[in-house]
Amino acid sequence: MALSVSSRFRCHPRSWRRVLIGLIALAAGSASTLPGSIAGAATPASGSVSDTSPTATWSAGPFVVPNVTGTTGTPSCADSQFCDDYALQVTVPSGYDAGHSVRITVKWPDAAADFDLYVLGANGQEIAASASSNDPETVVLPAVTASYTVRVVPYAPLGDSFTGTASLVGNPVGPPPGTATPPTYSASSAPDSIKDAHNAGEPSIGVDRATGAAMFQAYTSTLKVTYDSAGAATWADKSAQAANGCPQGSVTSLDPILFTDPKTNRTFESQLAGKTALTCYTDNDGEAWTPTSGSGINSGVDHQSIGGGPFAPGVVGALTSYPDAVYYCSQDIADASCASSHDGGLTYGPAVPMYSLLDCGGLHGHVKVAPDGTVYVPNKGCGGNQAVAVSQDNGLTWTVRKNPASTAGDSDPSVGIGAAGTAYMGYQNGDGTAHIAVSHDKGATWLYDQNVGQSLGIKNVVFPVVTAGDDNRASFAFLGTTTGGNYQDPSFTGVWHLYVATTYDGGQSWVTADATPNDPVQKGSICTAGTTCGQDRNLLDFNDITTDTQGRVLVAYADGCTGACATGGPQNFDALATISRQATGNTLYGAYDALVNGTHTKPKPKGGQ
């Protein structure tokens, strides 16, 4: 039976934890006769920071008994599972968050020990966490007046104590915004006659560059969208099903994903089904589909992604006439893995771990492949930073490379790759803002990290997505709001729009535009805490972005505020399949900057992802 948007599988972002170290710690704690559950409570038990008194510290411990309940979700704090709580009050003037953040850090002496950091809002809801194996653990929050509970969980305490610090810190001053004219965008939505038109949370998109058709995945439906010379869109259902060659398609899904290879124009449609996937591909925009093995053995159970591109040189490449590699990546309990296909996606080799939960949190973003075959999978929490898992040998081995200027966030980051291999990583920083950085050495170092929403007063973002064309051109889209505070609180009152930031100088500067200035995408809260959410998880967990043959940017998103909501009425928690397509301005391919009556006139260049 098909699942509804509200029940579709996607676990809490903190659910997949360091199981192996947790079992060891639990065994060690069980052997002890010390109580541990009330020893060393926070001293002092509360504190405050303000613009005139910006720092507060506390300590607690020692702790002996581990609390590993976080391996299956939000940690339990029952009597036998100790959590240390510190009450923090932040008091600052209005607007102070424009230049400041609250940084909360816990650290401990023994590097072999492990504590986890959670921050709860006034209503007890988790709003931030740093739950890796790193010392220290750090979260960054907007500097607004609020009351928090800072919860420290002794995951593997080993008899150690910790010290906590809360500080008001100045935000780094980024470069000024770009001076280029920002592009404009035009939105089109699936008609009500389309199945899953209003069930389009976490959509994905690709473009067949031979035909110009956009392929859009919405739950179990695959939709083909074509544009006429005036930019008007026509939507058609081309879902994979038994009648067109894919008996396993459009039946059920725990997570949907779609990918179109920009060179071969092959489109893959996949539905998650436990530790495998129901996957088919089409070479003619959904007229006919070919079944595949779906994924590699032993793939994970959540957060699947499919991507592809050239094989890296020097190792085994294509085994058939299909020239490109195809990758299937997903997460499991103790790690996340990728499997590679050398026959165009028909079959996959064994799934290879990209990292364990000692390195990064389980959830990851979409896999992308550079023109030289380098494979990138971004992650929002690797030791307190955003990072990319990188493979340079067609998925045989992986290395995690962090952006040290970043802090862990709550939305999957995204990578776009230029025509010569420049990598652009866009992410939701720990304070909720929209950041992007650039790497010219496959993630080893990162340049020009900056907040691209600051000039428009954007204080919270979700669902960052990035695409690139020419090596010095990229676009970064996200849902954003100018309202600060905890956007996951059901009482949050922010209004959300789709924004797109674009660089024409290799990420040194960006111009950011509201792509939906007269049509809010959501009003109120957007929950990213998985199946623990209420009705404000209507948009689910991510959006997607791509370019067409001429480098126009197309952003796939679910419109959560439709009908009367869009014209001033209350939020209606819709999830309408929508594409925002670039209407004017320079595209991501410089060869098409000259326009004649809105039609590009120069030949197609080679492009990135």
Is residue 2 pLDDT above 60, yes or no? no
| Rounded (10°) CA dihedral 280, 281, 285, 287 | -60
Choice among 160-174, 487-501, 502-516, 583-597 with the minimum mean pLDDT = 583-597
How far apart CA 427 and CA 406 sit, in angstroms, is: 9
Tokens representing residue 372 in the block: 């030289």
Q: Which domain holds residue 584?
A: 174-201+407-596
Question: Do residue 55 and residue 184 come from a single domain?
Answer: no
**In Å, what is the CA distance from 441 to each residue of 129, 360, 374, 382, 403?**
30, 21, 11, 19, 12
Q: Which of 257, 254, 368, 344 is nearest to 4 (CA)?
A: 254
User: Is 196 in the same domain as 162?
Assistant: no
Amino acid code (one letter) for 65: V
Q: State the amino acid at position 608 in one-letter form.
A: G
Residues 106 and 185 in one domain: no
Instruction: Please tell me the distance from the alpha carbon of residue 563 to that of residue 570, in angstroms, as a whole number.
Output: 10
Task: Assess whether 99 and 186 both reside in one domain.
Answer: no
How many domains does the structure of the chain reveal?
2
Q: Which two tokens stand for residue 229?
A: 């010379």
Residue length of the chain: 609
Q: How far is CA 166 from the centre of its chain?
A: 27
Q: Are residues 132 and 187 in the same domain?
A: no
State yes or no: pLDDT of 473 exceeds 80: yes
pLDDT at 193 over 60: yes
Type of residue at 488: Q
Which of 25-39, 56-70, 509-523 shows the lowest per-residue confidence on average (mean pLDDT)? 25-39
| Mean pLDDT lowest among 118-127, 390-399, 564-573 | 118-127
Burial (CB < 10 A; 0-12, 13-18, 19+), residue 59, is middle
Q: What is the CATH number of the domain that holds 120?
A: 2.60.120.380
Distance spanning both ends of the chain, measured CA to CA: 35
Which tens digits make up the pLDDT trace of 335-386? 899 999 999 999 999 999 999 877 887 689 999 999 999 999 999 988 778 9
> Would you say residue 578 lies in a domain?
yes
The DSSP secondary-structure symbol of 263 reads T
Distance between CA 223 and CA 243 in Å, rounded? Answer: 16
Domain boundary among 127, 148, 170: 170
**Range with lowest mean pLDDT among 301-305, 433-437, 563-567:** 301-305
Whether residue 480 is found in the same domain as residue 548: yes
Structure tokens at 9: 């599988």
Mark whether 146 and 182 lie in a shared domain.
Answer: no
User: Maximum CA pair distance of the chain?
Assistant: 80
One domain, residues 180 and 156 = no
> Is 187 domain-assigned?
yes
Distances from the Cα of 320 to the Cαs of 263, 279, 293, 346, 438, in angstroms?
16, 19, 16, 10, 35
Say yes or no: 61 and 194 in one domain. no
Residue 165's DSSP bridge partners are: 57, 105
List, for residues 296-326, the tens digit of each pLDDT value.
998 888 889 999 999 999 999 999 999 999 9
Cα(502)–Cα(584) distance, rounded to whole angstroms? 13
Tokens of 553: 């940017």
